[in-house]
Structure 1
Amino acid sequence: MRRELLTPYPLPRPVERLAWTALFGGMVLLMIASAISLLVGTRLISPEGVLQILLVADPWSFDRIVLVDYRLPRTLLGLLCGAAFGVSGALIQAATRNPLADPGILGVNAGAAFFVTLAVGLLGFHSIEAYLWFALVGAVIVTLAVYALGATGRDGATPVRLVLAGVALSAVLGGIGSAITLLDPQAFDSMRFWSIGSIAGRDMEVVETVAPFIGIGLLIALIAARPLNALALGDDMARSLGANIFRARILTLVAVTLLAGAGTAAAGPIGFVGLMVPHVVRWFTGPDQRRIIPMTMIYAPVLLLSADIAGRLILFPGELEAGIVTAFIGAPVLILLARRKKASGL
């Protein structure tokens, strides 16, 4: 009995076929979004041009500089940060049993961004190798603070309390961060687009710096998937099934810290990716985290890359930051989810 409840939830045959179709479709969409991200921008590059760049080693070709030095790091960062924000949202939703949870809504991204602001404004750090650690510390501190605030009172950490605590703390940290920015605008001039949420203008050094942290975070998320299935039944039931609740929550906290912290340090506080994608994924996978987390790793980068591509086309030849596009899509989604009596099953 215990083993059956801790193994993946069985899916009816038609639903299982739908899940496999969604997996295959997501991989195809991911490849298409990655290819378009490399080709589309202020300067359009044809697929034939990409092949010529790869086959003809001309380091001084302008198209090669655009592709290799600008669009390739941007695309890789979209893949990494998309997976990081999406999976961290899925983990938070599962751990708190809150369908409205998201690293942006619960203040995790705001905490990471605030500590990066402190590192840049007060300590003068401008290298991602330096302020990445501040982002990780800020993510874990604000995560614990939101849970502590939400847990006060007779009912404990209810979904509504956690959302209110996260929104309130995000507003406070955002206001203080804006005040620090105004005190020294020159120091933050290079971080204007980062504070909005953007994967543009990053080089391969940023990708190489955050990739190990995001990779470890994704691996821990996969390990935490099975005990999170037991936690979805409630703490008492999880204990009766032999699940280690403390270990599961520690794994979740570490994974969310690495994913949200590293993603925010690289791309800024991009919100709503971790809210929307897990909900869509659950339509195809059911409530099993062993299916939700891998599927989210595929569809979340598709969303972020699509938002980035849309931002390049909406104001062509200018650009609109990806964080603005995801917020434009995510805000109505949040309202619809909040108005629903029953959100996607957790």
Structure 2
Amino acid sequence: MGKKIVSFGILIALLLVTILYSAATGSIKVGLIELAQGLIWGGNESVEVVRDLRLPRLFVAMLAGAALAVSGVLLQAVMRNPLADAGVIGISSGAGLVSLLMVTIFPALYFWMPLFSFLGGALACFLVYSLSWRSGLSPLRLILVGVAVNATFTGLGQSFNYRGSYAVTSVNQAISSIFTLKTWSDVEIMALYGGIGLVLAMLLGSWCNMLVLQDKTAKSLGIPVTKARLIVSAIAVLLASVATAVGGLIAFVGLLVPHIARLFIGSDHKWLLPFSALGGAWLILAADTLGRTLLAPTEIPASIVMTVIGGPFLIIMLRRSERVHGH
């Protein structure tokens, strides 16, 4: 218990320091005292720019990171596979493709992007389940099918780039993972849908603890396995889809964060879910801040930073899982 509380305390302190650094650093540099005074009393043009441009970006990055990390925890519980992640198995790319397709065809429905993203994510999740199910869930088959589904949806999404349409270009920018020009309305959408998903996820810790067991064992403990799997999957898809609709396509968050979180606080989902939410918020905020400041004024998208970190991490995890299973 003591180690868990200390781990939470360190992570919260790390997140707060990163928030303050991210808010004060950029093309317009503002001291923390000046920032606080400007936010409270107003009348400072630099602080107003920070408030209207940098702070929404900061909140969207944190909320998207929290949503993707918690989505990863839920998917790993449902699929009994530590390699499951919305980005790896195609849920994020499915969400991005359907929202891109619908908004391209019906531009007036731009503000319904979270709904379209959810439908796309649900379609990808259904395809992964149905194509990988063969008298049970095989962790390896599930990942291989997920990678194939992800590649298909990603390829279809990228094919839109070659149509030369301004509308398509602008929508592509909307679902890219550069958090530039995010507004407080984006924060509201992310906070509403993402907040609902996060609260529901926190209430499902005991179900997640049961779902990682074999189905027969979970049923003997009184858990409605099929119903629980559907509900947990739906919440995971909601979180990943909203994060994709507002924050863009970012892979590996749901893979990295839960794995590292288990090293610090164990596998009890009642602790793992809130810790992963904080860890995901910090990771994406740190990735976005790094991408924004490293080669300023040029920006590196958070998705590229995460790919550079996550790719080698996935290889290490695959090698470890092979060693564990003795292959």
TM-score of the two chains, using structure 1 as the length reference:
0.89
Quote the sequence identity (%): 33
- Provide, for residues 183-223 of structure 1, a one-character-per-residue CA deviation record: whole Å limited to 9, x for no partner: 24311332444444232221011111221111111111112
Q: Is it true that 1:220 corresponds to 2:200 in the alignment? A: yes
Shift of 1:342: 6.5
- Residue 36 of structure 1 corresponds to 21
- In structure 2, the residue matched to 1:150 is 132
Structure 1 counterpart of 2:64, from 60, 64, 81: 81
**Kindly tell me: are residues 343 and 324 of structure 1, through their superposed partners in 2, closer, same or farther at Cα, counting changes over 3 Å?**
farther
Q: Is the 2:78–2:233 Cα contact (8 Å) retained in structure 1?
A: no
Contact 1:75 1:305 in 2 (8 A): yes
Instruction: Specify whether residues 44 and 38 from structure 1 end up closer, same or farther in structure 2 by C-alpha distance, changes over 3 A only.
Output: same
Q: Distance in 2 between matches of 1:177 and 1:159?
A: 27
Cα distance between partner residues in 2 of 1:199 and 1:29: 21
Higher fraction of helix: 2
1:52 maps onto 2:37 in alignment: yes
Q: Tell me whether 1:286 sits opposite 2:266 in the alignment.
A: yes
Shift of 1:100: 0.6
Is 1:300 matched with 2:277? no
Residue correspondence of structure 1 range 65-214 to structure 2 within 5 A: 65-125=48-108, 127=110, 129-152=111-134, 156-214=136-194
2:251 matched residue in structure 1: 271
Q: 1:343 to 1:50 in 2, by over 3 A?
A: farther
CA distance in 2, matches of 1:343, 1:236: 27
2:193 touches 2:242 (CA, 8 Å); kept in 1?
Answer: yes
Contact 1:277 1:296 in 2 (8 A): yes
What is residue 232 of structure 1 aligned with on the other side?
Answer: 212
User: How far apart, CA to CA, are the structure 1 residues paired with 2:237 and 2:33?
Assistant: 41
Unaligned ranges ≥5, structure 1: 1-15
Which one-letter code corresponds to 1:151 in the other structure?
W
Q: RMSD across aligned C-alpha pairs, in angstroms?
A: 1.7
Q: CA deviation at 1:343?
A: 8.9
2: distance between equivalents of 1:162 and 1:193?
Answer: 31
Partner amino acid, structure 1, of 2:2:
R
291-300 or 184-193: which moved more? Answer: 184-193
Question: TM-score, normalised on structure 2?
Answer: 0.94
The farther-off stretch of 34-43 and 265-274 is: 34-43
Residue of structure 1 in register with 2:228 after alignment: 248
Q: Deviation string for 1:39-89 (max 9, x for gaps)?
A: 11122211122023124322xx43123211111111111221111000000
User: Any idea what the Cα deviations from partners look like across 1:273-296, whole Å, max 9, x if unmatched?
Assistant: 110000010012211111110111
